[in-house]
Amino acid sequence: MEYYLIYKPYQVLSQFTSTDGKLCLKDILNVPKDVYPVGRLDYDSEGLLLLTNDTSINHQLLHPKFAHARTYWVQVDGLITNDAIETLSKGVTISVDGKTYATKKAVLKILPDDLVIPERNPPIRVRKSIPTSWVSIQLTEGKNRQVRKMFASVGFPVVRLIRSQIGQFSIAQMQPADCLSLSFEEVQNALFVN
């Protein structure tokens, strides 16, 4: 079995086939043809993505009953408030596939302004009159565009979204498009051992 951890760059599809001429994983990776991403990250999001041909890992990470933690660093428009953090931590109501959905509890904390992260290409549009904030949010579920919808529900639109951690795997020391080859034991220890 093969296991890879990639830092998916901004504006790259989480798949190996392109649509509408957009960059996809095959444009930045050279992995065996039977390897696929476990889950996905939106085209306009970046960060960690696990790839494997081990279907049991896919099931264990994506099935809701296993509730695996994923952490995101979220840059939002405006100075985030403690009220917004508290509301998000308790769960909010968002729309998923046209139906209302109550998100599970989340763990949030405000991150320092000097957070060290790679520059995004293309860079974020800077608006001098509107400050931004960085927040860490840990979820155990992954609905379509959930993080963006959650922050929008409390009045803080997402400017940049990075999946910074899956289980014990972290983007620390990684740059966009970096790919690490992992062993079965590394995957088990990082994702399934408490």
Q: Hey, what amino acid is at 95?
A: S
Domain holding 179, by residue range, is 1-66+171-194
The verdict on whether 42 is a catalytic residue reads yes
Look at residue 116 in the predicted model and tell me its pLDDT: 87
What does the mean pLDDT of the chain come to? 90
CB of 91 closer than 8 Å to CB of 107: no
> pLDDT tens digits for 126-179?
777 788 999 999 998 888 899 999 999 999 999 999 999 998 999 998 999 999
Instruction: Please check whether residues 90 and 42 belong to one and the same domain.
Output: no
Instruction: Please check whether residues 111 and 60 belong to one and the same domain.
Output: no
Instruction: Please check whether residues 23 and 80 belong to one and the same domain.
Output: no
Residue 8, SS3 per DSSP: strand
Look at residue 66 in the predicted model and tell me its pLDDT: 65
Measured in residues, the chain has a length of: 194
Instruction: Please check whether residues 56 and 11 belong to one and the same domain.
Output: yes
**Residues 39-58, mean pLDDT to the nearest whole number:** 91
Q: Hey, what amino acid is at 133?
A: S
Instruction: Please check whether residues 99 and 158 belong to one and the same domain.
Output: yes
Backbone angles phi, psi at 64, to 5 degrees: -55, -30
Instruction: Please check whether residues 133 and 162 belong to one and the same domain.
Output: yes
Instruction: Please check whether residues 158 and 81 belong to one and the same domain.
Output: yes
Which CATH number goes with the domain that contains 160?
3.30.70.1560
Q: Single out the catalytic residue among 27, 34, 42, 44.
A: 42
- CA atoms of 56 and 67, how far apart (whole Å): 15
- CA atoms of 26 and 168, how far apart (whole Å): 26
Residue 187 is classified by DSSP as: H
Instruction: Please check whether residues 49 and 78 belong to one and the same domain.
Output: no
For residue 45, pLDDT over 90 is answered with yes
Which has more pLDDT, 58 or 72?
72
When divided into structural domains, the chain yields a total of 2
Instruction: Please check whether residues 53 and 123 belong to one and the same domain.
Output: no
Confidence of residue 192 (pLDDT cuts 50, 70, 90): confident
